[in-house]
A and B are shown apart, each in its own frame.
Chain A
């Protein structure tokens, strides 16, 4: 019985270890504007390679 429990635990650890190989969540990085939320006004900052909201110069600008 005890051996069975230990064997099951070892198998569970082996399965659980597989989660270590999962992909990390995506980061806010980009190579071009295509990678950003363009419809929400984001563009790709080519220096930092990060999506940023574009400042709207607008009609009120001096």
Chain B
């Protein structure tokens, strides 16, 4: 009886750890909607799943992804952070940390530039008045705004002080692998003799960015626009069409408050097509030379075989054996002629192969130079100044 009760309790425990069918249904529907790009529907379903079991990290993680896609950076940061706090050792944790980092960048927060955060955390502190002294665990770390800096993960005791303002004490949890942003509102101290900087207000970052493009048929994320276009922070696809030029498509990444001026290097369509035609002609010529080289190589090989056969037959004819008096079919002069023919055609074949290789190589270069940009793949990133530096890469597609 006792053993049965224990077994029942164990089964009940296992059952309670599993997501309910209702939760699984809502969660899966949310994930499916997200993957189909139905963001509002995904958000509704995932919020239902989150309400059914707030301790499950999955809904939080996908809600963060939905928030990123919708440009709700603070929601993205909060949900990613909650997902990491609920299960820091999840197999999805690296992706969630990456998501958190991307949302921080898009939100216009100062990027973390220290060593890679593996088991450690990072913290950034801002206040409504700059210059407040930040102490963490009793140690002074500097004045606000405190740029993201590495620190041991876990619970941190913060103390902020500035003459003329009430000091603030708070405890924050800094999970491993991400930057924890702490924003503190200091209140003026009426009893202080120091002059509080009452006019100081937090510097508010704009919530939009701008793309400035030259004249032409401009489309940003397939929506028409002209000149200076307001966009949400994040990644956008810009397409510019100008008569007699190839369409110019690039991806751009905009941070909040960033004004990105585009200076596209437009390609003249006629000149590019001219190069493409030269490339095709040279490639065709290379193919013809290649065929000629192969044919002459076959002729050379045939002549070699003739020479070998004559030698085989004539050297086998022994005067001491009966029948040697049969008239010789071929003489040494025939062998020399066949050998000369083989050598001459081998030389022609080698030269033709060489010419074919050079011609086809030049043709391939012209084709590469004259190839139109592909429109069936995501366009490359436009080279532009970015916060925290940039890198340039050339992508080769086959």
Residues in chain A within 8 A of chain B (CB atoms): 2-3, 5-6, 8-9, 12-13, 15-17, 19-20, 22-28, 34-40, 42, 51
Query: Is B47 on the interface with A (CB-CB < 8 A)?
Result: no
Give the CA-CA distance A17 to B371 in the complex, in Å: 29
Q: Please, which residues of chain B bring their CB within 8 A of the CB of A26? A: 304, 307-308, 311, 335, 339
Which chain B residues lie closer than 8 Å to A12 at the CB level?
287, 290-291, 294
Distance (whole angstroms) from the CB of A45 to the closest CB of chain B: 14
Which partner residue on chain A sits nearest B324 by CB separation? Answer: A39
- Complexed CA–CA distance, A27 and B307 (Å): 9
Having A3-B398, A22-B304, A37-B328, one finds 19 other A-B pairs with CB under 8 Å, namely A9-B283, A9-B287, A9-B290, A16-B290, A16-B297, A17-B353, A22-B297, A23-B304, A25-B307, A25-B339, A25-B342, A25-B343, A26-B307, A27-B339, A38-B319, A39-B319, A39-B324, A40-B331, A40-B332
B315/A5 in contact, CB under 8 A:
no
Q: In the complex where A9-B287, A12-B290 touch, is A40 in contact with B314 (Cβ < 8 A)?
A: yes
**Which B residue's beta carbon lies closest to that of A27?**
B339
| Docked CA distance A15–B387 (Å) | 53
Min CB gap B36→A, angstroms:
32
Is A16 a contact of B317 with CB atoms below 8 Å? no
6 contacts between A and B (CB under 8 A): A19-B298, A24-B342, A26-B304, A39-B318, A40-B314, A42-B332
Secondary structure dominating the interface of B: helix
- A25 and B338 within 8 A (CB): yes
**B interface residues, tally (CB under 8 Å):** 43
* B246 contacts partner chain A, Cβ-Cβ < 8 Å: no
User: B330: nearest residue on chain A (CB-CB)?
Assistant: A37
Contact (Cβ within 8 A) B287 A35: no
List the A residue with the shortest CB-CB distance to B280.
A2
Chain A residues closer than 8 Å to B357, beta-carbon distance: 13
Residue of A nearest to B336 (CB): A28
Q: Is the CB of A16 within 8 A of B294?
A: yes
Contact between chains at B303 and A25 (CB < 8 Å): yes
B261 → A minimal CB distance (Å): 35
| Distance between Cα atoms of A39 and B326 in the complex (Å) | 9
- Give the complex CA separation of A23 and B308 in angstroms: 10
* Nearest CB of chain B from residue A42's CB, rounded to whole Å: 7
Q: With an 8 A cutoff between CB atoms, is B30 at the interface?
A: no
Q: Which residues from chain A contact B174 at a C-beta distance below 8 Å?
A: none
B287 touches which of A5, A28, A39 (Cβ 8 Å): A5
Closest to B303 in A: A25
